[in-house]
Amino acid sequence: MPSALTLTDDDLSAFAADLGLPGIFDVHTHFMPDRMQAAVWAHFDDLQDPPWPIQYRHGEEERLALLPKLGIVRCTALAYAHRPGVATWLNDHTLALAARHPQVVPTFTFYPEPEAPEYVEQALAAGGRCVKVHLQVGKFDLTHPLLTDVWAALERAGTPIVLHLGAVDDGSGGAEFCGADHLWRLLEHHPDLRPIVAHLGAPRDAAALFDRAGELPELRFDTAMAVVPTAQIWTPPDWLPERLGEFGDRIMFGSDYPTIPDSVAHQVSALANFGLGDAWLRAVLWENAAGLFGPG
C-alpha cells in the first residue's frame, strides 16, 4: 500500500501543476465586510468544546494575496445574510471585490424579505454568478413565500447556489431549518435550480443527499471541511470515497477559507489519499468548477 500523501500549503501550486492544472478552483471561500468577518471570528473564538483555532486570520487584501500561494487561482466570495436588511450591504461588498479581482467569482446572497426579488435581480444584472445561503445562520425556510420570485429568477439564470444545509450542535439553534428534506421540498417547486451542497451535506445529511443524486443531475457538492475529520463534528464515513468517485463530475473542491482550524493542504491531501486517480483530482480541483462558472 502506498504511503499517504502529506502536502503543505507551500506544495499546492506545484501539486496542481503536476496534474496539468492552472491551479485550484475553490468554490467555498468567504469574504465578508470587516465588521461581519470580525463577528464570525468572534463566534469561533468562543467555541471551547471543541475549540476552533483560525488558521488564516488576516486582513482581506492579505487573504486575497495569500490564495495564489496556496495554489488557489479562482475562488468565490461567500457571505450570508443572518437577518433582514443586511443582504444588500453584503452584496455590495462581495460584488465590488469581484470587480476589483477577476479571480473572484461574483457572489451574492439574500434573505426572505420583501426587497429580496429586486436586489437579487440587481445582483444578477451586475454579473452575479454564485449565491450563498446558510440555513442554520439565516434560520429561514427555503420555501418561504417571500423567496418564490428569488428562486424563479435564479432558476431562469441557471445560477449555482452554494447551500449550507447541515446543522451543527454549537448552541446557535436553527437546526429545524436544515436538512435534505428542505431541499427536496424546494426542488419540487423549482426543479431546475443548481444547488451545490456545502460540506457534502455533513454532518447529518450526506448519505441522504448522495442517495438521491442520481435522479437530480443539477445537484452538486463541495468538499469544504468534509473530507477530513472535523473536531467532534464529523468523521468521513467509510462509504464516502465510493460515492465521491461515483459522482466525480459533480464534486468541487471547497476549503472554507479562511476560518478553518487546519491548513488548506490538509484537505487537498485527503482528496488525493482517497486514491480515486489523477483524472478525478483534476475534475474536483479545477475542471468541474471551471465548467460551471467559467475558467476566469
pLDDT tens, residue by residue, 79-113: 999 999 999 999 999 999 999 999 999 999 999 99
Task: Report CA Rg, the chain.
Answer: 18
Q: Quote the percentage of the chain above a pLDDT of 70.
A: 98
pLDDT tens, residue by residue, 209-241: 999 999 999 999 999 999 999 877 899 999 999
Residue 209 CA from chain centroid, whole number: 16
| pLDDT value of position 2 | 62
Q: What are phi and psi of 157, to 5 degrees?
A: -80, -15
Cα gap 127→112, rounded to integer Å: 21
115-144 mean pLDDT? 97
Selection from 170, 174, 196, 171 nearest residue 183 by Cα: 196
| pLDDT value of position 230 | 82
Residue 209: which region, alpha, beta or left (left: phi > 0; alpha: psi -120 to 50)? alpha
Q: Which secondary structure element, helix H or strand E, spans residue 21, and what is its range? A: none
Bridge partners of residue 107, in order along the sequence: 130
**Is there a contact between 50 and 43 (Cβ–Cβ < 8 Å)?**
no
179-193 mean pLDDT? 97
Cα gap 193→212, rounded to integer Å: 15
Cα gap 182→189, rounded to integer Å: 12
Q: Where are the domains of the chain?
A: 9-293
Cα gap 150→187, rounded to integer Å: 14
Q: Quote the percentage of the chain above a pLDDT of 90.
A: 90
| pLDDT value of position 251 | 98
Kindly report the CATH class assigned to 9-293. Answer: alpha beta
